Amino acid sequence: SNQIISSMCSVMVAPSWQDEQELARNQYERMGSDVTMQCGSLDNEASVSWKVNGTDVKAEHRLEGPRLILTEVDLGHNGLYSCFQNPHGERRDTIYLHIGTPPREPTVTCRSNTYPKGFYCSWHQQHPTFIPTTFEVDVTHNLHSLQVQKDPDHKNRCRVRFPEVFSTVPYKVNVTAVNALGKASNTISFEESSIVKPDPPERVTATPVRFNARRLEVSWHSPATWPDIDNFPLKYFLRYRPLIREQWQHVELSDSTSHTITDAYAGKEYIIQVAAKDTEIGTWSDWSVAVHATPWIEDPLPITSTTEVDFSTETKTSPIPSSNAPQKAEPPVGRAARLLTFFSPLLLGMLPLFIW
């Protein structure tokens, strides 16, 4: 029906030079082809000379009356060509020659990180075209064209709102790359449930547990982009390993945004990441930014440093300061008691070093 709104999203790709020379007309030609440039509308008997960028044409060429013929052009032939009629040398034409290639099928991917609000599609050209190329994006669902919005933050990306939720009718996205030398389309089709992929969890922190050499408390926040965490809850996947080992350990958690690791190796620095997924559909997010933490270790030094260490759990993604930090807030009594138990012969041997 004529109710269907044809929508498109155009994005310029290559920079264009045509603004620079307002008087010049543009001529686009395929790389590798032989190119004929015609000097205005002069007839076949006219005799002309040509210049490119204001100097003589050095590239291999033929002259046929008012025509300049370049063979097997490449990017080096780009330039501003002017022709002058003999014998008086009046300029008769100015042509900006642009060498490029027609677009090929763009690759297209779509993803919803804002389920159930909408999704976005992005596309890429596998090969450069060297000339300005625009993209038209058509999204249809259930035979209706959907409104497509250009993403303000990302080049080559458009956003679409879901017209309904829990639809099993596939969406069709057709992206057409167009330039002066041709066009090429790619159409992909998918169901709502297959493109849901949240952004990674945010503000992941890992903190040692005082007096417990094997624990790390990990907490995080759901991705801020996920619009309705109450009705569309996420589950999480935690992975952690000591830096010295390759093997990750994994924990899957439904709905909770914290977890206590209880089997950490004492004294080892850990690397920890979290991923998120809708509890019902879609795929796992990418891993969050990695955080580092070391379980609590008894301070080998009875004389602790007086340096202020702000052990704020708000410190996002920054490595947790290791051994010294947890002891900072410790009451003096605890410290004294610990001192007694901790003076092993080994440390006694080292003690003078620190006292003096």
Contact residues toward ligand NAG (CB under 6 A) are 52-53, 77-79, 136, 138, 174, 176, 185, 187
Q: Shortest approach of ligand NAG to residue 139 CB, angstroms?
A: 11
- Across 47-70, b (16+ Cβ under 10 Å) vs e yields ebbbbbeeeebeeeeeeeebbbeb
Q: Are 327 and 319 in contact (CB under 8 A)?
A: no
Q: Shortest approach of ligand NAG to residue 51 CB, angstroms?
A: 10
Residue type (1 letter), 294: T
Rounded to 5 degrees, φ, ψ at 100 are: -160, -165
Residue type (1 letter), 186: N
Nearer to ligand NAG, 29 or 138 (CB): 138
Q: Shortest approach of ligand NAG to residue 78 CB, angstroms?
A: 5
Q: Shortest approach of ligand NAG to residue 125 CB, angstroms?
A: 16
DSSP-derived letter for residue 76 is G
Q: Are 173 and 121 in contact (CB under 8 A)?
A: yes
Q: Shortest approach of ligand NAG to residue 137 CB, angstroms?
A: 9
Q: Are 139 and 172 in contact (CB under 8 A)?
A: yes
Nearer to ligand NAG, 52 or 110 (CB): 52
Q: Shortest approach of ligand NAG to residue 187 CB, angstroms?
A: 4
Nearer to ligand NAG, 129 or 327 (CB): 129
Residue 256: count other Cβ atoms within 10 Å of its Cβ: 11
Q: Within 13 Å, how many C-alpha atoms sit on residue 227's CB side?
A: 10
| CA–CA gap between residue 186 and residue 196 (Å, rounded) | 21
Nearer to ligand NAG, 20 or 310 (CB): 20
For 207, the token pair is 């903190």
Residue closest to ligand NAG (Cβ) = 79
Q: Shortest approach of ligand NAG to residue 129 CB, angstroms?
A: 16
| CA–CA gap between residue 51 and residue 24 (Å, rounded) | 13
Rounded to 5 degrees, φ, ψ at 195 are: -105, 5
> Which of 336, 257, 258, 269 shows the shortest CA–CA distance to 296?
269
> Which of 249, 314, 240 shows the shortest CA–CA distance to 272?
240
Nearer to ligand NAG, 47 or 187 (CB): 187
Nearer to ligand NAG, 122 or 327 (CB): 122
Nearer to ligand NAG, 52 or 291 (CB): 52
Q: Shortest approach of ligand NAG to residue 53 CB, angstroms?
A: 4
Q: Are 184 and 177 in contact (CB under 8 A)?
A: yes
Sheet with 67-70: list strands edge to edge.
Answer: 35-38, 67-70, 61-64
Nearer to ligand NAG, 139 or 238 (CB): 139
Nearer to ligand NAG, 118 or 182 (CB): 182
Q: Shortest approach of ligand NAG to residue 112 CB, angstroms?
A: 22
